[in-house]
Amino acid sequence: MPDSDGPAKVTVPHVMAARREGRRITMVTAYDYSFAAVVDKSDIDIILVGDSGGMTLLGHQNTLPVTMDEMLLMSRAVARGCRHCLLVGDMPFGSYEAGPQPAVANAMRFLKEAAMDAVKLEGGVRMAATVRAIADANIPVMGHIGLTPQSIAKLGSFQVQGRSAAAAAALMEDALALEEAGVFSLVLEAIPAEVAAMITERVTVPTIGIGAGPGCDGQVLVLHDLLGLFQRFVPKFVKRYADLATEARRALDAYAAEVRSGEFPDREHSYHLPAGEERRVRARLEEAGPTG
């Protein structure tokens, strides 16, 4: 039922219907209450509470150190700020690789403890059985193939995937296996646009691209990338729609200058005694005398 002060809640069926109805899907990451509340009032369909928060918020070099407890903490914060967007919790490295049983238990935690609507995990054919087990437990699953950041130790670097015929065929096999296993959507990351378009044409579930060209059914970007807040590096596929890091530094420098000059805080930004009370308060304090 739609909220009286906002649009209806985006659901998994809504996302799946978007492809059939020709509606492009919009998704961004978020990791805290404040940004989630901002995103929720925008025209974004899905918030992914991504393990990329390990890099953007926690300062790790990659996503491998991120724990379930950290993901659940971020997910709960995002859920408190969101009423409209579909919420997807990113299963961190180590939370599902050991097999279907622990994967289902950890996926359940995202829904039971963090109010997520779905989970996302990386991997294709090798993860199909795990995806099926989670989906069979009535937990919606978003798949993720192509560049899978949790495989960085194996890959060696963040690099484009599917550039050869054999590699592209393997990606198609991954996509079809995940569709068969029951995913409701697929993230395609760092894949040649032509390959991503071919996968999108072949599968029936929506594809959401990140560095995968315009042929996908939707797009996702890391919030801190598109807002210009993450400064360490900028992937080729990122378009910055704002430069908030520069604006934040400007604001911080202005604040520091006003504090040092005595301009801030001024009367407007201070609390004051009621009219006529200052003399009585001063007298009472003077009567109290020194203490200690």
Euclidean distance between CA atoms 190 and 238, whole angstroms: 11
Q: What's residue 3's pLDDT?
A: 44
* Res 200 pLDDT > 50: yes
234-275 confidence digits (pLDDT tens): 777 889 999 999 999 999 999 999 999 999 999 999 999 998
Other beta carbons within 10 Å of 101: 10
pLDDT at residue number 154: 66
Q: What pLDDT digit, counting tens, does each position of 21-43 carry?
A: 999 999 999 999 999 999 999 99
Residue 71 to residue 50: CA distance in whole angstroms: 8
What pLDDT does 248 receive?
Answer: 96
- 23, 206, 219, 246 from 189: Cα distances, Å: 20, 14, 10, 28
**Catalytic-residue membership of 97:** no
pLDDT digits (tens, 9 = 90+) for 157-181: 568 889 999 999 999 999 999 999 9
Choice among 122, 173, 180, 189 that is catalytic: 189
Angstrom distance (rounded) from CA 103 to CA 208: 23
240 and 227 Cβ atoms separated by less than 8 Å: yes
- pTM here is 0.92
Of 10-24, 46-60, 141-155, the range with the lowest mean pLDDT is: 141-155
Residue bearing the bigger pLDDT, 94 or 5: 94
Stretch 1-29: mean pLDDT, rounded? 85
| 8 Å CB contact between 227 and 242 | yes
